[in-house]
Amino acid sequence: MRRWSMVWVLGVVLGLLASIAPAQDSSGLKVLQLPIRTDGPKSLDPVQGSTTYDNMSCAQIYETLLINKYSDPFRYEPLLLEEIPTSDDGGTTWHFRLKKGVQFYSPYGEIFDGSRTRELVTDDVFYSLKRIADKKYQLKNWWLLKDTILGFDEFMEEQNAAESFDYDAPVEGFRKINDHEFEIVLKKPVTRFLWILTMFQTSVVPREAVEAFGDEFSFKPVGTGPFVLDEWIPKKSLTLNRNPVYHDVRYPAREEWSREDRRARMHRAAGKRVPFVDRIEFTMFVEDNPMWLQFRAGNIAYTEVPDEYFAEAFDKRTGQLREEMAEQGIRAHANKLLDFIFRGFNMDDPLVGGYSPEKKALRQAMSLATDLDEFNRTFYSGKNVVYDGPIPPGLDGYPEDGRSPAAYRGPNLELARQKMIEAGYPGGEGLPPIKYYSNRGGNSPEQAELMQRQLSRIGVQLDVQLVDFSTLIEFVNKKKAPMFSFAWSSDYPDAENNLALFYGPNESPGSNHFNYKRSDYDAMYEKVVTMLPGPERTAMYEQMRDMILEDVPFIGSMARERHYLINPWVLNCRPTERYWAWFKFLDVDDSKRRR
């Protein structure tokens, strides 16, 4: 039998895929095909969302008061507001002016007193923030506003203790001036407050739609965003159409773009009204291989570059895009992520949790037995930054050269085995297998195997449970996963956001997935949230970082540099993970699609 070369087979596969590449819609619509690199969102209701993939989807349908800038994602600008909020008292009282003429649009019928549309007003903002306090939604995102707004904590407690949640009950810190002006009064200045208003969980939704659709609101979302839902097939696809009444939002001005961005022609649409496309079609890719093949065939706009395909895309020696791809018009882009990749422990778990010397010794031993450099070489081509603690490179509190003396960084098998003795499990004797939950997509199964092998050297057995990403998050939120693995990307560029992951009141289903609880740590966190950047705050960040490292609620850390490839038919594309409302700036040129 003749043995066909893999290159020939791949060429045939790509040729077949390219032959069915989606050309311009027969109706003349511009259609943008995009990937989601997991099984996708768990909810299209922002108040119930928490993951990157919830964010990626919701940000097309709903909008927030403020938003990250596409030209500089480390800054924010008004979206539903006329201007950046102002404060005359040092950050306690904030004054807001809503943009006039912004409309909610319902594709499901006339839910607004006989109309499909209604203007956004002050009451919608207050209603949407109150939803975060409603235990009906599991208080998943209450951590964002807890102990922040005057009277809001009391409102949350009173309404959740009542027979029914009264959204009309007042909150002392919500002050309506008129339909387009309002104030929010904080208990005390909170440095992160305006950044919170950029996060998709604080998106503004209309009360009529939530009450009309009830539990189905996640499948019948109504917002002010650039797109409206056409169809959502969970774990498979998500299709959105242009919002016919989208308000006036413009592509960033030429002067906002850097010289490098202008060389990449990112400025060419400057000042034009968005969105540019009529339809977005998301496809969920649990496995990387189908996503890669669809990109190579020209069927999706861009792709993250999985490590196993890195050498196919880039020269490993120079890091440059390979000539054959450049000749096809493919462009490359890279971002250094505010990334926290970890293997976490549920500190409430009777086996791996706890704070006694013996319990800490077990986690310390497992950390000492883990070789993150081997993970980096094997799965990330050595491109990741390995560091100690939860604060990624680039933020205050990141340890010098990525190393802290408080860390139990491996590999140090001799000390790891001594710690196993201190834990009461010499050589692993008497230690039951530890259930370890991880995403079944990408190279996670191979990473779990390496974790098993490394820990087996000190007698620790992992019982690996590979599940869809949405199921993984559900198990973590319900405290059912003794040990788990995923990554956290900072919501805003301040280490306080990462340190919030270990603040006791934020325990699951909040952002403290580790269910880490220490009163002295919590007291320090409550202090730093009101502090302005400076040496004193940085010193406290470092002290909190090292406190966490001593207790080992996770094994880590690593930060990625994400590499993307962009097909020539998509315009204005500079992928960022700082926020996910940038798809409205993308355009397509169907003449550049491969047929």
Indicate whether 54 and 191 sit together in one domain.
yes
pLDDT tens digits, 228-279: 999 999 999 999 999 999 999 999 999 999 999 999 899 999 999 999 999 9
Indicate whether 356 and 212 sit together in one domain.
no
Q: Checking phi first, is residue 101 left (phi over 0); if not, alpha (psi -120 to 50) or beta?
A: left
Residues 76, 82, 84, 85: is their CA dihedral positive or negative? negative
User: How many CB atoms lie under 10 A from the CB of residue 197?
Assistant: 24
User: How many CB atoms lie under 10 A from the CB of residue 155?
Assistant: 21
Contact 469, 487 (CB under 8 A): no
Categorize the per-residue pLDDT at 494 as very low, low, confident or very high, splitting at 50, 70 and 90.
very high
Indicate whether 366 and 509 sit together in one domain.
yes
Question: What tokens were used for 106?
Answer: 């319902």
Q: Mapping DSSP to helix (H, G, I), strand (E, B) and coil, where does residue 8 land? A: helix
Name the nearest CA neighbour of 578 among 70, 125, 137, 202: 70
Question: What tokens were used for 344?
Answer: 């976490």
Task: Please count the residues of the chain.
Answer: 595
Domain span at residue 511?
339-559
Within-domain flag for 353: yes
543 pLDDT higher than 80: yes
User: In the chain, what is the straight-line distance between the N-terminal and C-terminal CA atoms, in Å?
Assistant: 33
**Omega of the bond prior to 46 within 30 degrees of 0, cis?**
no
Within-domain flag for 351: yes
CATH code where residue 191 lies: 3.90.76.10
12 pLDDT higher than 60: no
Give residue 307's pLDDT: 86
Q: Which helix (H) or strand (E) holds 118?
A: strand 117-119
Integer angstrom CA distances of residue 439 from 57, 379, 422, 469, 470? 19, 15, 32, 5, 9
Q: Checking phi first, is residue 427 left (phi over 0); if not, alpha (psi -120 to 50) or beta?
A: left
Give residue 595's pLDDT: 64
Categorize the per-residue pLDDT at 403 as very low, low, confident or very high, splitting at 50, 70 and 90.
very high
On the CB side of 313, how many CA atoms lie within 13 Å of its CA? 25
Within-domain flag for 444: yes
* pTM beyond 0.95, yes or no: no
Integer angstrom CA distances of residue 84 from 95, 99, 405? 9, 11, 42
**Omega of the bond prior to 404 within 30 degrees of 0, cis?**
no
Burial 79-110 (b: 16+ CB within 10 A, else e): bbbeeebebeeebbbbebbbbeebbbbbebee
pLDDT tens digits, 340-369: 999 999 999 999 999 999 999 999 999 999
Domain boundary, last residue among 183, 217, 251: 217
CATH code where residue 448 lies: 3.10.105.10
Indicate whether 212 and 71 sit together in one domain.
yes
Within-domain flag for 231: no
Single-letter code of the amino acid located at 382: G
Quick one: average pLDDT of 543-549?
Answer: 98
Integer angstrom CA distances of residue 335 from 202, 423, 578? 26, 41, 10
Q: For the chain, how many structural domains are there in total?
A: 2
Question: What tokens were used for 375?
Answer: 């993970």
Single-letter code of the amino acid located at 25: D
Give residue 319's pLDDT: 85
Beta bridge partners of 408: none
Domain boundary, last residue among 192, 217, 242: 217
Within-domain flag for 404: yes
Q: Virtual CA dihedral for 38, 39, 45, 47, nearest 10 degrees?
A: -50
Question: What tokens were used for 196?
Answer: 């919170």
Which phi and psi angles does 328 have, rounded to 5°?
-85, 0
Domain boundary, last residue among 217, 250, 284: 217
Within-domain flag for 470: yes
Can you tell me the distance from the alpha carbon of 92 to that of 90, in angstroms, rounded to the nearest whole number? 6
pLDDT tens digits, 419-438: 999 999 999 999 999 999 99
- In sequence order, which ranges of 109-255 are alpha helices (DSSP H)? 122-132, 152-161, 193-196, 207-213
Residues 270, 577, 543, 523: is their CA dihedral positive or negative? positive
467 pLDDT higher than 90: yes
Within-domain flag for 448: yes
Report, in angstroms and rounded to the nearest whole number, the Rg of the chain calculated over CA atoms.
25
Quick one: average pLDDT of 472-499?
Answer: 93
pLDDT tens digits, 203-233: 999 999 999 999 999 999 999 999 999 999 9
Categorize the per-residue pLDDT at 9 as very low, low, confident or very high, splitting at 50, 70 and 90.
very low
Q: Which helix (H) or strand (E) holds 9?
A: helix 6-19
Contact 33, 301 (CB under 8 A): yes
Q: Mapping DSSP to helix (H, G, I), strand (E, B) and coil, where does residue 86 land? A: strand
Can you tell me the distance from the alpha carbon of 47 to that of 164, in angstroms, rounded to the nearest whole number? 18
Block residue for tokens 């596969």: 13
pLDDT tens digits, 108-142: 999 999 999 999 999 999 999 999 999 999 999 99
Indicate whether 378 and 510 sit together in one domain.
yes
User: Over the chain, what is the mean pLDDT?
Assistant: 93
Which phi and psi angles does 185 have, rounded to 5°?
-105, 125
Q: Are strands 31-36 and 279-284 parallel, antiparallel or unpaired?
A: parallel
Within-domain flag for 294: no
Query: Any idea what the Cα angle at residue 138 is, between residues 134 and 142, rounded to 5°?
Result: 65
Q: Mapping DSSP to helix (H, G, I), strand (E, B) and coil, where does residue 305 land? A: coil
Integer angstrom CA distances of residue 469 from 112, 241, 283, 304, 465? 36, 26, 15, 17, 12
User: How many CB atoms lie under 10 A from the CB of residue 177?
Assistant: 12
Q: Virtual CA dihedral for 262, 268, 270, 276, nearest 10 degrees?
A: -130
Question: What tokens were used for 405?
Answer: 């003396």
